[in-house]
A and B are shown apart, each in its own frame.
Chain A
Amino acid sequence: MNCQEATLLIDSYADGELDAAGILELEKHLHDCPACALTFRNVQNLKKSLKQDSLFFTAPAELRQKLKAELRSQTESNRPFWTWNWFTAATTGVAVICLALLLPLALTRPSPQQQLAQEIVSSHIRSLMANHEMDVASSDQHTVKPWFDGKLDFSPPVKDLAAQGFPLIGGRLDYLDQRAVAALVFHRAKHVINVFIWPTTERDSKPAARASINGYHLIHWSQGGMTFWAVSDLNEKELMEFVQDFGTN
């Protein structure tokens, strides 16, 4: 591989988007070529700098209010005014037939695991929407961990991953799978990662991507009698990096 070819691949490599054959060849070239190795380091530094919070623009409250009013007026103006007439009768008839046809479909319910995944995503979204990300706001694991004592019948593992680029922001009590669970909150730039933890009788399992629901990614694993679910709108690759860091530290 020459420098010309390497130049075109360095960014894909830094982004984790290069295929295995390309990686092998490029790594060999980077090893031998200080100029391209420098270009690669420059790309990495740039990438890191673009992730800082202060570069993100947050939607102003003014915009949120305008939208809220706009959406409300839309539904009000569109709300149909029903009177009982032949049209309604006909529609009802059709609806009854459709329902009868759809009933078998409705009976095939999502698996418990799918339901749980959906529940976790909803919980994640709720925490963002209600601006209730955490009950205890601290980046200090020695503050967050004791906070859970007495509130839960188990002691969740808490660690700060600021050095890996995932600072711990705090913790929160949540309710999932019909029990109280611990939620740890981490940030990656503007992205929020929630990790839900509760005791389990499941055997240990390696982290595996479980589902993507509405653009949120979920990774699940079990370790030492605890079950873990990480959820975020962060891309799956970075979320997996986070999970690896969380699990191995």
Chain B
Amino acid sequence: MDERERLKSFEQTVLPHLDAAYNLARWLAGNDHDAQDVAQEACLRALKFFGSFRGDNARAWFLTIVRNTFYTWLRKNRPSENVVELGDEVLAIEDISVNAEILNSRLADTETIRRAIEELPVEFREIVILRGMEGFSYKEIAELADVPIGTVMSRLTRARRQLQKRLAGEFKPGAKP
């Protein structure tokens, strides 16, 4: 394919998902400056590998690249950021209850929700964005994050529980999410 045609095809297939890419990068990186760096780098990588894109889901393909770019960037720029080692341990029942009244009142305030998501460990944040905002299926998330589908299920459950606890002001850092 001619270089200009390739670029045109790239612009039509991948660039419509730039908002989704930036949104993911922004939530993962935590600020605009780093998010732009990650999104831009991901975009150039996507162009480089565009020839190998065969699927029909450009958004998932592009966001996979954004995600990988982010983790490479994270290791290089913030090696100390705590990527929690997430086991698949079963949730204890007493951990999941949360004061529904407080929770619902907090859900009314976008700023509170935003802060609570920002405080989540990065792997929880990621799955909350991919499912909650982008609406990917469990199977798509499993492929995107390169984990088994069972891990998607349990991680999402624990991420949402921790988010609810943080929202309700009941989160204790020592406790299991």
Interface pair B56/A71, CB less than 8 Å apart: no
Q: Which of A4, A50, A60, A238 contacts B113 (CB 8 A)?
A: A50
Q: Is A210 an interface residue (CB 8 A)?
A: no
**Who on chain B is nearest to A10 by CB?**
B157
Interface pair A215/B90, CB less than 8 Å apart: no
Interface pair A17/B138, CB less than 8 Å apart: yes
Among A209-241, those with CB < 8 Å from B are: 212-215, 233-235, 237-238
Q: Which of the four size classes fits the interface of chain B?
A: 35 or more
Q: Is B124 an interface residue (CB 8 A)?
A: no
Q: Which of the four size classes fits the interface of chain A?
A: 35 or more
Q: Which of A45, A57, A212 contacts B107 (CB 8 A)?
A: A45
Known A-B contacts A15-B138, A42-B98; A7 and B132 likewise in contact (beta carbons under 8 Å): no
Known A-B contacts A57-B23, A191-B135, A235-B137; A214 and B96 likewise in contact (beta carbons under 8 Å): no
Q: Which of A67, A122, A191 contacts B18 (CB 8 A)?
A: A67
Among B58-95, those with CB < 8 Å from A are: 58-61, 90-91, 93
Contacts of B19 in A (CB 8 A): 56, 58-59, 190
Per the bound structure, the CA–CA distance linking A67 and B40 in Å amounts to 7
Mostly helix, strand, loop or mixed at chain A's interface?
helix
Closest approach, in angstroms, between the C-beta of B127 and any C-beta of chain A? 11
Per the bound structure, the CA–CA distance linking A80 and B152 in Å amounts to 46
Interface pair B58/A58, CB less than 8 Å apart: no
Among A50-96, those with CB < 8 Å from B are: 50-52, 54-60, 62-64, 66-67, 70-71, 74-75, 78-80
Interface pair A215/B135, CB less than 8 Å apart: no
Q: Which of B18, B57, B91 contacts A215 (CB 8 A)?
A: B57
Contacts of B145 in A (CB 8 A): none
| Nearest 3 pairs of A and B residues by beta carbon | A50-B132, A59-B22, A57-B26
Q: Which of A7, A51, A58, A67 contacts B157 (CB 8 A)?
A: A7
Q: Which of B20, B100, B133, B138 contacts A50 (CB 8 A)?
A: B133
Q: Is A20 an interface residue (CB 8 A)?
A: no
